[in-house]
């Protein structure tokens, strides 16, 4: 079972343009779609399509349209009541060449009572979970170190913890790895560079360099680090080695949700007890499949082909494949 936490859920609205985005111009959209989303929600959505039991924990009134939409999609969710205002709306603008522009709003303020309710909900329901995924940005009102605090607080549940976040919450987690190391971290190249002192573009383009940077986290107690590298696939680093998965040629339609899909692919492979090379292959296959779909569409298992992913072992000491 995969339990996900999305502390700052969003209505993901995707605007598809027929041409390139022009600042200051009036442009017509070819389509506009909306879907209940957020990183954790996307992972739970992927789990449902793959037949994996999941529970999505999030702050929202029980009768909120967001919650009703998830339940209509057969996504089991546990909303923690909040009166902080309407859930945020994130707008994504996609261009024909796959270029994606995102406009993310901050979301409603989370009170201490809401944060405590989310933490309690997780703790009460993770005893039977294989994975607990803490994902996405934190809402206004949440302490920057809240994810790190949750990781430490969930240590006695026996569940493995995966974290996918960025900016201040990511840095706060890294600062506390000695006391709150999750089982899995999933940064992208730029997020990894933000706390390792590397250049983000260089890491995105150089899987060996990304693997060496990720190995620093493994050395500090993280069991596995999955670094998504966009068109360059992904790197997986554990104490046993490092592997790079190269995606098949993909016509990119939208990159929104691709990282979430990659993370789910890894979790699914882990639940199947596959070896590391196959885990990175399934992660990359899910991510590339998502990139070829419009908006925040999450791929179904029949759209994912790990056999087309080329996996190579890396030497994180020398950087040679």
Active site residues: 260
Largest CA distance in the chain: 55
Residue 138: CA atoms inside 13 Å, Cβ hemisphere, count?
Answer: 26
Q: What are phi and psi of 196, to 5 degrees?
A: -110, -5
Rounded distance between C-alpha atoms, residue 98 and residue 19, angstroms: 11
Reading the block at residue 245, the tokens are 């998965």
Q: Give the distance, in angstroms, between the CA of residue 12 and the centroid of all CA atoms in the same chain.
A: 15
Interior angle at CA 259, CA 254 and CA 262, nearest 5: 115
Rounded distance between C-alpha atoms, residue 238 and residue 214, angstroms: 9
Place of tokens 């009572």: 113
Under DSSP, is residue 85 helix (H, G, I), strand (E, B) or coil?
coil
Under DSSP, is residue 266 helix (H, G, I), strand (E, B) or coil?
helix
SS (H, E, C) 232-250: HCEEEEECCEEEEEECCCC
Provide the Cα torsion 159, 227, 316, 273; round to 10°.
Answer: 40
CA-based torsion, 123, 8, 174, 254: positive or negative: positive
Task: Point out which residues pair with 55 in neighbouring strands.
Answer: 3
Reading the block at residue 145, the tokens are 């170190």
Rounded distance between C-alpha atoms, residue 229 and residue 214, angstroms: 12
Pairing of strands 77-80, 88-94: unpaired
Reading the block at residue 2, the tokens are 């995969």
């Amino acid at each position: 079972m995969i339990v996900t936490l999305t502390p700052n859920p969003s209505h993901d609205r995707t605007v598809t343009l027929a041409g390139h985005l022009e600042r200051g111009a009036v442009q017509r959209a070819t389509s506009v779609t909306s879907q209940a989303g957020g990183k954790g929600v996307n992972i739970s959505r992927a789990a449902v399509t793959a037949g994996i039991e999941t529970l999505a924990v999030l702050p929202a009134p029980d009768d909120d349209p967001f919650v009703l939409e998830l339940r209509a999609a057969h996504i089991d969710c546990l909303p923690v009541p909040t009166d902080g205002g309407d859930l945020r709306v994130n707008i994504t603008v996609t261009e024909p060449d796959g270029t994606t522009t995102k406009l993310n709003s901050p979301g409603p303020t989370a009170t201490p009572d809401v944060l405590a309710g989310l933490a309690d909900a997780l703790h009460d329901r993770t005893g039977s979970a294989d994975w607990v995924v803490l994902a996405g940005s934190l809402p206004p009102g949440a302490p920057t170190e809240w994810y790190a605090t949750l990781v430490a607080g969930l240590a006695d549940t026996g569940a493995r913890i995966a974290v996918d976040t960025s900016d201040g919450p990511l840095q706060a987690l890294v600062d506390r790895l000695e006391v709150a190391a999750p089982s899995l971290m999933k940064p992208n190249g730029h997020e990894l560079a933000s706390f390792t002192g590397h250049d983000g573009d260089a890491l995105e383009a150089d899987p060996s360099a990304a693997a060496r940077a990720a190995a620093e986290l493994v050395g500090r107690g993280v069991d596995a680090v999955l670094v998504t590298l966009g068109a360059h696939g992904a790197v997986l680093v554990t104490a046993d080695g490092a592997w790079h998965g190269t995606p098949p040629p993909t016509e990119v339609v939208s990159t929104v949700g691709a990282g979430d899909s990659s993370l789910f692919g890894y979790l699914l492979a882990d639940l199947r007890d596959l070896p590391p090379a196959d885990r990175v292959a399934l992660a990359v296959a899910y991510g590339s499949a998502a990139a070829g779909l419009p908006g925040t569409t999450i791929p179904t298992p029949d759209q994912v082909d790990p056999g087309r992913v080329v996996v190579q072992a890396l030497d994180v000491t020398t950087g040679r494949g």
